[in-house]
């Protein structure tokens, strides 16, 4: 899990086509697509690895799931 989080983080941070304000959201989106957040303690581990709060991760996940439910 740690290597997947770090790999995605490196990809997104190196992608200049993604605005800086959207990078964390994009990382969470990609990790969610990989079903990382189905694993125990994954949100906490991701929060530490990405240096963002766990509440931010949960907010992004709620927004993603709400968006998916509409489509």
- Do the Cβ atoms of 5 and 37 come closer than 8 Å? no
Q: What are phi and psi of 42, to 5 degrees?
A: -65, -35
Which alpha helices (DSSP H) does the chain contain, by range?
A: 2-13, 23-33, 42-50, 54-70
Model-wide pTM > 0.85? yes
* pLDDT tens, per residue, the chain with 71 residues: 899 999 999 999 999 999 999 999 999 999 999 999 999 999 999 999 999 999 999 999 999 999 988 87
Measured over the CA atoms of residue 38, residue 13, residue 54 and residue 67, the dihedral's sign is: negative
Measured over the CA atoms of residue 69, residue 26, residue 5 and residue 46, the dihedral's sign is: negative
């Amino acid at each position: 899990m740690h290597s997947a989080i770090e790999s995605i983080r490196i990809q997104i941070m190196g992608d200049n086509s993604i605005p800086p304000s959207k990078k964390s959201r994009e990382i969470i989106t990609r990790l969610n697509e990989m079903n990382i957040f189905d694993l125990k303690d994954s949100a906490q581990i991701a929060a530490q690895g990405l240096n963002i709060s766990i509440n931010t991760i949960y907010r992004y996940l709620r927004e993603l799931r709400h968006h998916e439910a509409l489509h």
